[in-house]
Amino acid sequence: MIRRIWSAEWLKVKRTWIAALTLLGPAGIIACLMVDYAIRSDYILKIYPDEWTGLILEASMILPTAIMMGVTLFASLLAGLEHQTNAWKYSLALPLSRFQLYLGKGLQLVFLLFLCSVLTSLGFAFLWVWNGFEADIPWLELFQGTLYPLLAALPVIMIQLWLSVTLRNQALPITVGVLGATIGAALAEWLPWAYPTNALPVDTENLGRTAQEPEKWVPVGIVLGILLLILGGWNFTRREVK
């Protein structure tokens, strides 16, 4: 079943910009950090206790926002392919249930964002070498630094998926996504848009900042994300789709 869903969804994104955007997003993040270090390298190394803390906290200024914007863009593009070409009736004619189709969209969206996350981690490794840091590359921390915020963002991913799939006009989903990306970190910590920032795997208490709690927000994000995926699929099975 999963293979049929997977094949059906990936056939739809051929000859689109989605694959290119999967590369451009991580490249943009790394390019911004390269400029940041090129301009402020001495200052960054001075104010943080070690290279890893400096790298992830500098990245934290753009990484959660980039994740939210990526979620918004990919969800809108994937659903827009169906809306713009009136392809829902053809998708619903496949030997798959509506819930399975919705699940396929969700899995595809998460996979694209996971791929972006892995590429960003590899970009961090490149940045580590480019900056000439003396310590060995902390591979585990590099992948945690991108995967933890992504896992914590699963509730937002599922909210954006539901909005983009159920609304033909993508203006509202994009507006919600952009607002969440720009003000998410300033929201109450229990709102999903704040989870990615709270899940960064770095000790900030010694720097006089609010402590990050990935051990709390990553599980919360996973559980709530799965719940919202199920609820979104249940709602999709009961909606009239044109």
Per-residue pLDDT reduced to its tens digit, 113-151: 999 999 999 999 999 999 888 889 999 989 999 999 999
Instruction: Tell whether the model's pLDDT for residue 100 goes beyond 70.
Output: yes
Residues 63-90: tens digit of each pLDDT: 989 999 999 999 998 888 777 766 676 6
Q: Is the pLDDT of residue 157 over 80?
A: yes
Question: In this model, does residue 209 exceed pLDDT 60?
Answer: no
Q: Worst-scoring range by mean pLDDT, 2-6, 47-51, 204-208?
A: 204-208
pTM of the model: 0.89
Tell me the two tokens of residue 210: 């609010």
* pLDDT at residue 210, rounded to an integer: 59
pLDDT at 99: 87
% of the chain residues with pLDDT over 70: 83
pLDDT at 182: 85
156: pLDDT strictly greater than 90: yes
Comparing 17 with 176, the larger pLDDT belongs to 176
Q: For residue 232, what pLDDT band results from cuts at 50, 70 and 90?
A: very high
* Residue 151, pLDDT score: 96
Contacts of 51 (CB under 8 A, 6+ apart): 45, 128, 131, 133, 134, 135
pLDDT at 25: 92
Q: Which residues of 103-114 are buried (b: 16+ CB within 10 A; e: fewer)?
A: bbbbebbbebbe
Report yes or no: 157 and 110 within 8 Å, Cβ to Cβ: yes
207 pLDDT exceeds 60?
no
DSSP 184: G
Across 207-235, average pLDDT: 86
Mean model confidence pLDDT for the chain: 85
Taking CA atoms, 122 is separated from 41, 49, 112, 115, 149, in Å, by 20, 23, 16, 11, 16
pLDDT of 211 reads 59
3 vs 167, residue with greater confidence: 167
Residue 143: predicted pLDDT:
93
Query: Residue 48 above 70 pLDDT?
Result: yes
